[in-house]
Amino acid sequence: MNTVTTFYLSRVIGHKAFDTNRKCIGVVKDLLVDPESSTHSSGHPVVNGIKIKFKKKVAFYSFQNFHIEKVNGQTKVICDQLIELASDQINSNLYLVQSVLDNQIVDINGRK
């Protein structure tokens, strides 16, 4: 088991998230970041929230108590404690899957 701090978004989206007892809490649908913050040492925005779907219910939780593990080459999303995000936190963040994944990004100089 190896906890990671950087990972590919596509390796997490659509995979099950588990609690500390390895019980499934749902499927990861999206990650939320604050595009204005770059407090991580890498300069990348910090993940603030996670969108989880369980059965037909969608919920947003703080990513503070989540961690990503690599086990036998597989990426696992583990949660220590579920803390729901307030609606203002949900609305002020950028949804990575919805806004970035599979979209072509062009900078101000026209480079892709």
Residue 41's pLDDT is what? 63
pLDDT under 50: residue ranges of the chain? none
Integer angstrom CA distances of residue 87 from 23, 25, 66, 90 = 26, 21, 19, 5
Q: Tell me the per-residue pLDDT of 16-43, one tens digit each, with 9 for 90 and over.
A: 999 989 899 999 999 998 877 665 566 6
pTM for the model stands at 0.80
Output the pLDDT for position 45.
75
* pLDDT for the residue numbered 10: 83
